[in-house]
């Protein structure tokens, strides 16, 4: 690649940026409206996104089960609002997810994903597990090949999938999105898209913090997600919310950094957490007792008490560790054969779990019937709990007309998980496609941004004094970990921002080839995301322990009167502007 | 430092499925047709296992992921 690399012009009615679960769903749905749909993907949709190598769980309101039990959608919503988000949630978006995910599950079945199991004792043959809510909303499925099936469905419908293109910039014309620019990660060409609507689905930012094991890339979440969407949206003047809630580390299957897809590292069924002498710290879980379930309706009062009790039963692992109470072990030794078989199926069906189980059994000769795995700290992350992302309206459209977002790109919805990707992707695809039908031609696109992207890449590729991307990334991670760690305070954050600005303003990158150029562009995203974390951490003048673990030493109390709001950050003429979006 | 992905030259037929799907793009096709891919950027592996999981000759042992020592889990053996 060189400074006069070829430009590939592409015109498409709907451009989906990022082909993970949300992006594939958006592309599939948009294709139903007779418009031209393109998915631009940095890697390959067959294995990209958080579910690239599989996902085994989702949550939904399931009418055939829940209606029979006397539960309505509002019960499930209240469970999520109280138990997971502690009131800190966009309720309109939550309704979209809670009310539509069952229909999306039925659609996914049509695309060949299996959700039903003959050994299930539950109506509809779902494998329901106790997970997200007190309402039995969560269920396992055969999701290891889901990205293959979604890719095939999108292709069958004529969606144009362009793999190996990293989008770096959004284009806008008079307050309306008009396209995007990207770099081919292998061919080194520039890609210039003209489009009538854009659905942004690039996921989370997973490289803000050092990896605890010291093995680069060994994160619970895929490290190819570098918050590219948030940075291009920020530069396009779109507000981003909740970026201050960058979380401390979890205790999970440390070293290997795998979550088993289960909060609190509890493996169902039969997984308990035990201490150094076998004492039980968290009792083993059980499947739901379907004979008795639903006989007693949980009121919001009962649910709140149950949640509070669950939290009171034990302090978080990092706290117990500080009290010298470790080590802690994941312990399935009390499980029956049937339960252990199920647990192994569940472990191997999600994310890197397939490979993890193979490693455990073949390399370590591990046996769940007698051996235990120690829980260790995972790396810090922009967790699902944080729910940071773009500020959108109920139709998932941002302040920039024609720019939609879905899945983890959307802010304000803690633990929407795969349910959010399925429903929001679908909805955003529909809204974007419908909107493009009202627009006659493509909007004119200026050449300035392409020229500046060309210049940026040329500088990186020709630099002699510039630094390797890995060197810059480590310096940025050190700053985030020190100044925006478990404790934050005004002067510390100000110093951290100064140091980040220094790197951003004075450090240049060096790339030997196109592959390294892409890594440099990713680290540029990581720096911008780090700035967002620090700036919003400085602006939020309160602490919010649950569920965000956000602690300001100089404002140790939670201040609902002034701060029960999403904090939005946007760029206006080069300056950061903050605003509060009250939670309705 | 680490050798995350190791191919068995006897088994791997160089189909390059793993090269196509690696999300970190750390693999490159072997210039010699039919030979295993080259691990160009081993230090950028994220250990997700997609290459291994989707390998058509996985069960025959064409591809292996070697878990680095600092990543290996801490196991409390039941028989100790």
**Tokens 């921002």 appear where?**
A497
Higher pLDDT, A248 or A545: A545
The strand pair at A272-274 and A565-572 is best described as unpaired
Cβ atoms A469, A516 nearer than 8 A: yes
CATH for A371: 3.90.700
C-alpha–C-alpha distance, residues A245 and A242, integer Å: 6
Distance from C-alpha of A178 to C-alpha of A171, rounded to nearest angstrom? 5
Q: Are residues A427 and A503 in the same domain?
A: no
d(Cα A142, Cα A133) in Å, to the nearest integer?
A: 21
Q: Residue A473: which domain range?
A: 448-582
Find the helix packing angle between A514-539 and A469-483, rounded to 10°.
10
Is A356 domain-assigned? yes
Residue B80 lies in a domain: no
Q: How many domains are there within chain B?
A: 1
Chain A residues in contact with B48 by the CB 8 A cut-off are 47, 52-53, 222, 351-352, 355
| A394, A96 contact by CB (below 8 A) | yes
Chain B residue set in contact with A, beta carbons under 8 Å: 2, 20-25, 40-41, 43-50, 52-54, 65, 67-68, 70-79
- Selected residue of A217, A257, A334, A352 to mutate for chain B interface (largest B Cβ count, 10 A): A217
User: Does A337 share its domain with A213?
Assistant: no
| Residues of chain B positioned with their CB less than 8 A from the CB of A218 | 46-47, 68, 71
Count of domains in chain A?
4
Distance CA B44, CA B47 (A): 9
Per-residue pLDDT of A190-225, as tens digits, reads 999 999 999 999 999 999 999 999 999 999 889 999
ipTM: 0.97
* Exposure of B62 in the CB half-sphere (CA atoms within 13 A): 21
Determine, yes or no, domain membership for A1. Answer: no
- What range does the domain containing B15 cover? 5-71
- Quote the DSSP letter at residue A116: B
Q: How far apart are CA A235 and CA A503, in angstroms?
A: 18
Three-state SS at A244? coil
Radius of gyration of chain A (CA): 23
> What CATH number should be reported for the domain holding residue A183?
3.50.50.60
Same-domain pairing of A214 and A355: no
Residue range A75-92, pLDDT digits in tens: 899 889 988 888 999 999
B54/A374 Cβ within 8 A: no
The position carrying tokens 């592959």 is A515
Q: Are A73 and A89 found together in one domain?
A: no
Instruction: List the single range of A27-36, A195-204, A321-330, B42-51 with lowest mean pLDDT.
Output: A321-330
Contact A234, A570 (CB under 8 A): yes
- Please tell me which of the candidates A164, A224, A354 has its beta carbon nearest to residue B53: A354
Within-domain flag for B79? no
| Helices A448-462 and A514-539: angle between axes, nearest 10 degrees | 110
What's the average model confidence in pLDDT over A492-509? 97
The per-residue pLDDT for A421 is 97
Dmax (CA) for chain A in angstroms is 72
User: By 3-state DSSP, what share of chain A in percent is helix, strand and coil, each rounded to 5?
Assistant: 40, 20, 40
Q: Is residue A327 reached through a cis peptide bond, with omega within 30 degrees of 0 on the bond before it?
A: yes
The pLDDT value given to residue A263: 39
CB contact (8 A) between residue B46 and residue A217: yes
pLDDT grade for A480, boundaries at 50, 70 and 90: very high
For B46, the closest chain A residue by CA position comes to A217
- Whether A318 and A190 map to the same domain: the answer is no
pLDDT band with cut points at 50, 70 and 90 for residue A404: very high
CA distance B69 to chain A (A): 9
Both A31 and A148 in one domain: the answer is yes
- Rounded CA-CA distance A129/A270 in Å is 12
CA geometry: angle at A47 spanning A220 and A207, to 5°? 35
Task: Indicate whether A120 and A224 sit together in one domain.
Answer: no
Q: Token digits for A372?
A: 């235990």
- The DSSP letter of residue A297 is P
Q: Which residues pair with A198 in a beta bridge?
A: A15, A403
* Bridging pattern class, strands A37-40 and A160-162: parallel
Q: Is A251 helix (H, G, I), strand (E, B) or coil?
A: strand
Same domain, yes or no: A329 and A297 = yes
What backbone torsions phi and psi does residue B70 show, to the nearest 5 degrees? -65, -15
A268 pLDDT band, cuts 50/70/90, is: low
Across the interface, do A217 and B79 touch by the CB < 8 Å criterion?
no
Is there a domain that residue A160 lies in?
yes
Q: Rounded to two decimals, what is the model's pTM?
A: 0.96
Do the strands A403-405 and A190-200 form a parallel or antiparallel pair, or are they unpaired? parallel
Say if residue A496's pLDDT is above 80: yes
Give a yes or no: residue A16 inside a domain: yes
Residues B61-70: what's their mean pLDDT?
95
pLDDT at A199: 98
How far is Cα A65 from Cα A124, in angstroms, rounded to an integer? 8
Q: Are residues A48 and A67 in the same domain?
A: no
How confident is the prediction for chain A on average, in pLDDT? 91
Q: Is residue B59 part of a domain?
A: yes
Give the model confidence (pLDDT) of A42-57 as tens digits: 999 999 999 998 898 8
Contacts of B44 in chain A (CB under 8 A): 216-217, 519
Phi, psi of A507, rounded to the nearest 5 degrees: -100, 135
Q: Residue A164: which region, alpha, beta or left (left: phi > 0; alpha: psi -120 to 50)?
A: left
Q: How confident is the model at residue A265 (pLDDT cuts 50, 70, 90)?
A: very low
Interface A-B: count of C-beta contacts within 8 A = 127
A572: domain CATH number? Answer: 1.20.58.100
Please classify residue A395 by burial: count the beta carbons closer than 10 Å to its beta carbon, then call 0-12 exposed, 13-18 middle and 19+ buried.
middle
Secondary structure, 3-state, A172-212: EECCEEEEEEEEECCCCCEEEEEEEEEEECCCCECCCCCCC
In a domain, B65, yes or no: yes
Chain A closest CA to B80's CA: distance in Å? 10
Same domain, A456 and A530: yes
Radius of gyration of chain B (CA): 14
High-pLDDT (> 70) share of chain A, %: 94
Find the CATH number of the domain harbouring B19: 3.30.70.20
């Amino acid at each position: 690649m060189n400074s006069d690399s070829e430009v590939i012009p592409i015109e498409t009615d709907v451009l989906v940026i990022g082909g993970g679960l949300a992006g594939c769903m958006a592309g599939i749905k948009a294709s139903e409206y007779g418009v031209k749909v393109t998915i631009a993907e940095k890697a390959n949709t067959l294995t990209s996104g958080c579910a690239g190598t599989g996902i085994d769980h989702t949550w939904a309101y399931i009418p055939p089960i829940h209606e029979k039990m006397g539960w309505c959608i509002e019960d499930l919503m209240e469970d999520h609002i109280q138990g997971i988000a502690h009131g800190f949630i966009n309720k309109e978006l939550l309704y979209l997810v809670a009310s539509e995910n069952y229909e999306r599950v039925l659609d996914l079945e049509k695309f060949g994903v299996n959700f039903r199991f003959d050994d299930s004792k539950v109506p509809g043959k779902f494998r329901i597990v106790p997970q997200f809510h007190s309402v039995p909303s969560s269920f396992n499925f055969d999701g290891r090949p889901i990205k293959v099936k979604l890719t095939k469905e999108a292709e069958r419908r004529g969606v144009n999938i362009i793999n190996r293109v990293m989008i770096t910039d959004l284009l806008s014309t008079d307050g309306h999105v008009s396209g995007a620019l990207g770099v081919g990660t292998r061919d080194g060409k520039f890609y210039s898209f003209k489009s009538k609507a854009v659905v942004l689905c690039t996921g989370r930012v997973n490289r803000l913090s050092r990896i605890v094991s010291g093995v680069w890339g060994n994160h619970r979440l895929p490290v190819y997600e570098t918050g590219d969407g948030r940075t291009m949206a920020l530069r396009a003047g779109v507000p981003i919310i909740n970026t201050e809630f960058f979380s401390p580390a979890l205790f999970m299957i440390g070293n290997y950094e795998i979550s088993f897809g289960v909060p609190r590292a509890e493996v169902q069924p039969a997984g308990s957490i035990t201490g150094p002498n076998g004492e039980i710290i968290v009792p083993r879980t059980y499947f739901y007792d379907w004979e008795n379930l639903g006989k007693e309706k949980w009121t919001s009062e009962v649910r709140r008490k149950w949640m509070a009790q669950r939290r009171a039963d034990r302090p978080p692992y990092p706290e117990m560790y500080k009290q010298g109470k470790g080590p802690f072990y994941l312990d399935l030794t009390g499980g029956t054969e049937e339960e252990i078989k199920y647990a192994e199926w569940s472990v191997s069906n999600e994310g890197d779990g397939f490979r993890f189980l193979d490693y455990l059994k073949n390399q370590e000769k591990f046996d769940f019937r007698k051996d235990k795995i120690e829980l260790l700290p995972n790396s810090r992350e922009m967790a699902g709990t944080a729910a940071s992302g773009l500020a959108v309206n109920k139709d998932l459209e941002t302040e920039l007309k024609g720019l939609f977002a879905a899945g983890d790109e959307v802010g304000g919805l803690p633990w929407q998980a795969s349910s959010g990707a399925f429903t929001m992707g679908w909805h955003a695809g529909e809204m974007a496609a419908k909107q493009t039908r009202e627009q006659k031609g493509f909007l004119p696109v200026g050449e300035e941004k392409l020229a500046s992207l060309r210049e940026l890449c040329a500088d990186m590729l020709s630099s002699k004094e510039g630094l390797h991307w890995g060197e810059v990334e480590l310096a940025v991670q050190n700053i985030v970990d020190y100044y925006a760690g478990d404790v934050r305070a005004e002067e510390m954050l100000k110093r951290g921002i100064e140091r980040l600005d220094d790197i951003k303003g004075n450090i240049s990158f060096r790339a030997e080839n196109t592959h390294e150029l892409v890594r440099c562009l990713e680290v540029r995203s990581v720096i911008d995301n780090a700035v967002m974390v620090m700036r919003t951490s400085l602006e939020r003048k309160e602490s919010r322990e649950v569920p965000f673990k956000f602690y300001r030493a100089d404002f140790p109390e939670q201040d609902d009167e002034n701060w029960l709001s999403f904090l939005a950050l946007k760029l206006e003429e080069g300056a950061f502007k903050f605003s509060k979006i009250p939670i309705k | 430092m680490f050798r995350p992905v190791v191919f068995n030259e006897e088994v791997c037929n160089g189909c390059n499925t793993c090269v196509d799907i690696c999300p970190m793009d750390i693999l490159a096709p072997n210039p010699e047709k039919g030979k295993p891919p080259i691990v160009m950027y081993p230090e950028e592996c994220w250990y997700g296992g997609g290459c291994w999981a989707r390998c058509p000759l996985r069960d025959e042992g064409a591809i292996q992921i070697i878990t680095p020592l600092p990543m290996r889990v801490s196991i409390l053996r039941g028989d100790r």
